[in-house]
Amino acid sequence: MTAQPKIVAINGSERDGNTADVLRHAAAVAAKRNVDLEAVDLRNLRMERCGPCGDCNDRPLPCAVADDIPGVVAKMIAADGIIFAAPVHGFGTASLMQTFIERAGVGYLRFDRPLSNKVAGIISVARRYSAGEVWAQLTVNALLNRMILVGSGFPATVHALHRGDAAKDEEGLTNVTRLVDRMTDMIELLAEHRRLTGRDDIFRPAERNERVGLALNELQDQR
Ligand SMILES: Cc1cc2nc3c(=O)[nH]c(=O)nc-3n(C[C@H](O)[C@H](O)[C@H](O)COP(=O)(O)O)c2cc1C
């Protein structure tokens, strides 16, 4: 029997609020398709900010700052799909998610891109303003990590101000339903492809460490 597919959803809200409600809806949709959707609440984790070292653009090795982020990265690597879900704060991505993008992305993911070919989904939650901008920012980060984004209709932006409002945004939740269904379709398609071909590297084999050859001094050496 094949293992149950898994989606890990990163929740960038400070509270058990609208984003959590949206992810509970997403988990119910996933469960109907026999997919386990686990929400990882950043608010409950130990997450440092990026430090002053600033050597990320040169180092070919993961970050040395100790917090819970390596464990979250390991969870994402073990999953078939990843959802980034964040509220909009101050017309931008809520700071917990922004910090996570910096810590996980720059600290761990930029070297070998271990999330390559995971199926990605993006959800932003806002009263209204800049929901699209935050959705787009998170989308670019998924693409940066070479994840597969499936078209699922309108972007999964949910309009909600007060706690409980997400449940009232029918159109937003419909878009979340479509997103999870389409992610599941793609996860199943990729699993079928792996089964039929016996190949795990669905597309091109992972490139070498992205940072090697990019460090400033190495680039200068090449000139
Ligand atoms: C500090 C702060 C800043 C916010 N800024 C915006 C904003 O710029 N645009 C917007 O539409 N909503 C804004 N909101 C509203 C939240 O996006 C909205 O309440 C959302 O439902 C919160 O999700 P949560 O309950 O999962 O935390 C802001 C909320 C807070 C707390």
Q: What is the 3-state secondary structure (H, E, C) of the chain?
A: CCCCCEEEEEECCCCCCHHHHHHHHHHHHHHHCCCEEEEEEHHHCCCCCCCCCCCCCCCCCCCCCCCCHHHHHHHHHHCCEEEEEEEEECCEECHHHHHHHHHHHHHHHCCCCCCCCCEEEEEEEECCCCHHHHHHHHHHHHHHCCCEECCCCCCEEEECCCCCHHHHCHHHHHHHHHHHHHHHHHHHHHHHHHHHHCCCCCCCCCCCCCCCCCCHHHHHHHC
Does 1 map to a domain?
no
What's the 11 CA to ligand 1 centre distance in angstroms? 14
Ligand 1 atom at minimum distance from 13 CA: 27
Q: Could you tell me the residue range of the domain that residue 200 belongs to?
A: 6-222
Does 109 map to a domain?
yes
What CATH number should be reported for the domain holding residue 70?
3.40.50.360
Residues in contact with ligand 1 by the CB-under-6-Å rule are 13, 15, 17-19, 87-91, 125-130, 160-161, 163
What's the 110 CA to ligand 1 centre distance in angstroms? 29
Count: domains in the chain: 1
pTM over 0.85: yes
Atom 16 of ligand 1, residue of closest alpha carbon? 126
Which of 11, 88, 137 maximizes ligand 1 atoms within 8 Å of its Cβ, making it the mutation to test the pocket?
88
pLDDT in tens, 143-171: 999 999 999 999 999 999 999 999 999 99
Which of 84, 89, 91, 97 maximizes ligand 1 atoms within 8 Å of its Cβ, making it the mutation to test the pocket?
89
- pLDDT reading at 201 higher than 80: no
Does 46 map to a domain?
yes
pLDDT in tens, 83-122: 999 999 999 999 999 999 999 988 888 888 899 999 999 9
